[in-house]
Structure 1
Amino acid sequence: MDETAIPPERSGRPDGFRNQRLCVVPRPQIEAALSRTVTRRLLVTDAGYFPAASGHRRIRAHGAAETIVILCVAGSGTVRLGEEEHPMTPGACVTIPAGVPHDYRASLDDPWTIWWMHVRGTDVAELTGPLLGIPRPLTRLRAVDGAVALFDELVGHLERRVSPAQLLAASGVAWHLLTRLAADSILPAEGSPLERAMRFLETRVDSNIPVAELAGMVGLSSSHLSAMFRRATGGGPGAFHTAVKMARARTLLDTTSSTVTEVAAAVGYSDPLYFSRHFRRVHGMNPTTYRAQHKG
């Protein structure tokens, strides 16, 4: 939580902010929840909403016991983690790992409006740590409104009578929120070269696009584009396009009476035998066996 042991001049605005929302779970209830199934994996200990938080500042020279997540929705501020300083503007979300020294503050000229939460649990480090080898203290969200709705729901649960059921519900919302942040940390921004390349491949499932041609279309070198694909998806452009083709093939096999030869042609394979071998390599079975499975 926002530790009261820190002197007021280092904590900022002890009287709070107009229309703020602030929820602090009693510490004995936290300890009890951390011994229960599910909430021991992820537990929200504190959460809130600070609008136009003029004078807001927190300094923790030894870090906090919990991992802290802050989403800026208006105004601006800065977050310092060790020697690194991160500017916070609308749509920016920062994750501060437990135990990491930090100093965050609202801008004097344009103080931020933030949603925030503190979380503990056995799965927190994995949910908030690097994905695909990418460190992500700061994430630029693709859909801020969706994250705000989750924060609002989470705080709403904690504003009610705190009980094991409400803590469980808050944990579920926090899990959704953290996984959304994790996805946004690696997915490309709307209109970026990588996003445009992905969108083009998604519309061209019936053909094969050389990496050099794709790179030229978005103004990057082949090596740079391939590196961006590997960072975002774990594989290169070819692997991404194959995954798109296989998804389309599954849809056709599940929802149409098209022959395997027709499905193969629809996803850019002129040789149905090669398509079948490729399908088996991806799915562990050939297209005919896949189609015969009972689904749903």
Structure 2
Amino acid sequence: MDDILTSGLRRMLQAVSEQPFPLVLVSGITWPGSVQVPPLPSVWRKDKHDFFELAYVDKGACTITINNTAYLLTAGKLCIVTPGDMHYEAPVYPEADYRLTWLAVSTTRMKLHVTEYKTHQPSLKHLVSGVNTWLGCDLTAILNKVVDELRNGYSFSDVVARGYLLSLLGLASRQLLAIAERGDVLQSEWQDPIISAVLEYINQHYAEPHLGVSDMAAHVALSANYLSVYFRKITGSSPYHYLLQTRMQHARQLLATSNLTVAEIAAAVGFTSPYHFSATFKRLNGVTPTAFRQDAGEAPIIDSMNVS
């Protein structure tokens, strides 16, 4: 496990635990470090994604420009980039070194990387690139709650936002520590042909009610037991868990955006029994499908699972 990544994540967790607010920048809020004229994207291109990004300034200071508004971020501060935000990072001035720890967050997966700018190098250096970890909960729901609290300034919003972020970072830290203790190596991308083939197969066949690990294993000409062990070693999760999370992702989308009944949604995502679907949904999401639909009507949850 790369010490640069684990130490950066540890300091991020400590900052969220101890630093006073305003601590977390989100576009649309009042921030004490606004910059009048956005800097040019001198070290990294403008970009936008369909997933969340969480950035932590581990060393130095830099600017983050989001939707043409530039903000100053100093050491210990965080920034949440929401899906669809056009953004880029840049040095405050050419002689100002900095280091950022980035978390790209989709529904159940988090990809971590560390970037560093130094005056003697013409562009960003990726100290750690694209380390993947899997978590058994809806990460985008957590970040949606944080953004909602910060933008709307509800009573005790700082306390609530801090609690959500601590949950997210605590889960990520626990997963990385567990993988490190097993002595596994986290792969920077899903370039492994077996993992890529299995993920693609699940994404294509998740709606089939009798799909199992044996089917996935047969697709890549392996035994079910060998695939389960191999898949967990590479990803930190089991193939069946990924299948369930894929089904839950599509179920959440249908609950939030369609008029299908719960029974119809259960069938559409591969469950033969609406009761089994409802029980599984509540176990993995913390609420029943009906309650989720009611909540989604008030504050839609953005889902993204970029597994490519």
**TM-score normalized with structure 2 length:** 0.41
- Structure whose CA Rg is larger: 1
**TM-score normalized with structure 1 length:** 0.43
